[in-house]
Chains A and B, each alone.
Chain A
Amino acid sequence: MFGSQFKIVIGTFVVAFFAFVAIFAPLLAPFNPLSQDLFNRLAPPVWAERGSWTHALGTDNYGRDVLSRLIYGARVSILVGVTSMLLSCTLGSLCGVIAAYRGGRLGSFIMRFSDAHLAFPEILLAILIVATLGGSLLNIVLVLGISSWMVYARVVYGLTLSLKERPFIEAARAQGAAGWYIIRRHILPHLLPMIIVISTLQVAQMILTETALSFLGLGVPPPTPSWGNVLAEGRDRLFVAPWIANSAGIAIILVVWGINLLGNGLRERLDPRAGARG
């Protein structure tokens, strides 16, 4: 539908916008996201009747400014999304490549382990980890990172199995290349487009899962504003104050859309066979 150039530009713009917001949250947020104003609870946003620019997106159940909470929430959500994606991506890709390239018992063990893990409910694992280690930002990243490495492992495993039989791998071996060099130089570049696409989808997925965990009380502990917390708190007041959940929802949709657009654009660009370059 769009050219890869367009996708990359728009995607980068959206992602950069949210990254900017997250980095400069203290300068951008009009209020302290934690300060309550009980005389000003559930103030409507600027477009509603009686709304004002003071609280552009209204206030929540405790009179906290929703816009400020979202701006600070961007920090938590993006940080959790990206770091947990990096963790699972590294873990999963490494396992997949090793399992396929080495093969043998180690390979079967890794893949059977990933099958077993796939059958294990993510939420149960999250409860297990949070219950034993306690809820904190780091633990959320760990939970999310560990619980989705299998996706990468499986895809990378399949791709590597077919890649390692390609003649150029044999050619490289004939030139004296071995092990890690072949993986780094000849296998990873072919995996990268796929990994990028999965990763972008995963960042979005991670942000959503973080939301779900926060909603269950297993995520970032309140009152820390994460988009998940804001969404969960908004749910209780969905009929009275729909702007709370809606604002958080729109923020999530926007960032997920932007990341996916960027990912798709990059995938098209990284494939050297895909049409005109530059």
Chain B
Amino acid sequence: MHRSDPNDVPLMTVHALKKHFPVGRQLFSKEPKAWLRAVDGVDLQIHRGRTLGLVGESGCGKSTLGRLLIRLLEPTSGAIKLDGEEISNVSARKLMGLRKRFQMVFQDPMGSLDPRMKIGESVAEPMYLNGIGNRREKVAEMLEAVSLSPEIANRFPHEFSGGQRQRICIARALTLEPDLIVADEPVAALDVSVQAQIVNLFQDIQQKMGLGYVFISHDLGVVRHIADDVAVMYLGKIVEQGSVKEVLDAPAHPYTRALVSAILPPRPTGVRFRPPVSGDLPSPINIPKGCRFASRCPMAKDLCREEEPVLRRVANGQHAACHFT
């Protein structure tokens, strides 16, 4: 089941997913002062054997979205379906059984391994928690799968480099043979040479095990390399999505265009024109009316400040949320 057809039943479907965090507290009132709208109505599809790249700048809600997908955070509203089955409101007991189907790899490989646990214990932990036996063999097998020697099981995390630790984290995520791995900036903390190794490792594993990835990154170069589909997030919403080729080669949304043009070319010759994106991300507590990107968009018109654009089909599988594409 490698590289399955994107038209079959998606592994995970997300509809109108929202996560609002309460901010501040009012005296004598249960209502908080304000709501931080980290994820504000997201629709996604994740397919087996395919990688969805989730890109956007810091603070756009991509990590929150990743955590919602694996139910590490409770969504405020919206639906998450795994193989067509609703999982956004299942009981804690049922969730326990679902956990083995989606795992996460975190950004900070130094921090996401317990420094007081031996590598073997850390890698075996998901199996222990899910009551799976024969852990020792499986740990050895998984460590080999990520090109590490099984003998390291008796050592501690501080004895390893960042790349090795990320391999260990990947091995840990794989022990339960999940269908979906959400990788939150898994290579951002690594050296460039090591990044390539880890990205290739992700691809090898996908080819062998046919699982779906959500690859969260702010590095378009890495996303172009690993992802099949891309979703561009801005201020809690997806502003453009489609296949990597479509979105990154012919971006339709002005924000995506700005992101793409910000990639440094391998050979820095000639003058590049880029639409200017100035200023900072507006606060997700005070989301402006109309198009979220209007305050920074070079082509914003009055309409953009009044009416919020919806995702519209612009090419084959490509969708963008802009009035002027």
Of B72, B95, B169, the contact of A170 (CB 8 Å cutoff): B72
Asked whether A176 and B104 contact (CB < 8 A) given A166-B111, A168-B112, A170-B112, the answer is no
- A190 nearest in chain B by CB position: B116
The contact string, 1 if C-beta is below 8 Å from chain A, for chain B 71-102, is 01000000000000000000010011001100
Q: B106 near A176 (CB under 8 angstroms)?
A: no
Of A168, A173, A178, the contact of B111 (CB 8 Å cutoff): A168
Contacts of A174 in B (CB 8 A): 70, 72, 99, 103-104
- B96 nearest in chain A by CB position: A176
Asked whether A176 and B111 contact (CB < 8 A) given A189-B116, A272-B158, the answer is no
In the assembled complex, the Cα of A214 lies from the Cα of B254 at a distance in Å of 81
- Nearest CB of chain B from residue A155's CB, rounded to whole Å: 18
Q: B103 near A175 (CB under 8 angstroms)?
A: yes
Interface centre among A167, A176, A181 (most CB of B within 10 A): A176
Q: B126 near A176 (CB under 8 angstroms)?
A: yes
Q: Does B108 contact A (CB under 8 A)?
A: yes
Q: Does A171 contact B (CB under 8 A)?
A: yes
Q: B111 near A167 (CB under 8 angstroms)?
A: yes
Contacts of A178 in B (CB 8 A): 92
Contacts of B169 in A (CB 8 A): 171
Asked whether A167 and B106 contact (CB < 8 A) given A173-B72, A175-B99, A186-B114, the answer is yes
Residues of chain B at interface, number, CB under 8 A: 28
Contacts of B96 in A (CB 8 A): 176
- Nearest CB of chain A from residue B296's CB, rounded to whole Å: 31
Q: Does A240 contact B (CB under 8 A)?
A: no
Contacts of A168 in B (CB 8 A): 111-115
Q: A273 near B115 (CB under 8 angstroms)?
A: yes
Interface centre among A177, A178, A272 (most CB of B within 10 A): A272
Q: Does A172 contact B (CB under 8 A)?
A: yes
B-contacting residues, A171-222, CB 8 Å: 171-178, 181, 185-186, 189-190
Contacts of A177 in B (CB 8 A): 125, 129
A-contacting residues, B21-75, CB 8 Å: 70, 72
- B99 nearest in chain A by CB position: A176
In the assembled complex, the Cα of A181 lies from the Cα of B129 at a distance in Å of 9
Q: Does B325 contact A (CB under 8 A)?
A: no
In the assembled complex, the Cα of A185 lies from the Cα of B116 at a distance in Å of 10
How many chain A residues sit at the interface, stated as a range, is: 10 to 19
In the assembled complex, the Cα of A165 lies from the Cα of B155 at a distance in Å of 24
- Nearest CB of chain B from residue A170's CB, rounded to whole Å: 7
Asked whether A272 and B103 contact (CB < 8 A) given A174-B72, A177-B125, the answer is no
Contacts of A186 in B (CB 8 A): 114, 117
- Nearest CB of chain B from residue A47's CB, rounded to whole Å: 50
Q: A171 near B129 (CB under 8 angstroms)?
A: no
In the assembled complex, the Cα of A177 lies from the Cα of B99 at a distance in Å of 10
Interface centre among A171, A173, A176, A190 (most CB of B within 10 A): A171
The contact string, 1 if C-beta is below 8 Å from chain B, for chain A 223-247, is 0000000000000000000000000
In the assembled complex, the Cα of A130 lies from the Cα of B130 at a distance in Å of 51
Q: B115 near A272 (CB under 8 angstroms)?
A: yes
- A192 nearest in chain B by CB position: B116
Interface centre among B108, B116, B158 (most CB of A within 10 A): B116
Of A170, A175, A189, A272, the contact of B126 (CB 8 Å cutoff): A175
Interface centre among A167, A177, A181, A273 (most CB of B within 10 A): A167
B-contacting residues, A143-168, CB 8 Å: 166-168
Contacts of B112 in A (CB 8 A): 167-168, 170-171
In the assembled complex, the Cα of A190 lies from the Cα of B112 at a distance in Å of 15
In the assembled complex, the Cα of A240 lies from the Cα of B218 at a distance in Å of 82
Of A171, A189, A273, the contact of B106 (CB 8 Å cutoff): A171
- A173 nearest in chain B by CB position: B72
Known: A166-B111, A167-B108; 5 extra A-B contacts, CB below 8 A, are: A174-B72, A181-B129, A185-B125, A189-B114, A189-B116
Q: Please name 5 pairs of A and B residues whose Cβ atoms are closer than 8 Å in the assembled complex, sorted by A.
A: A174-B70, A174-B103, A177-B125, A189-B116, A272-B158
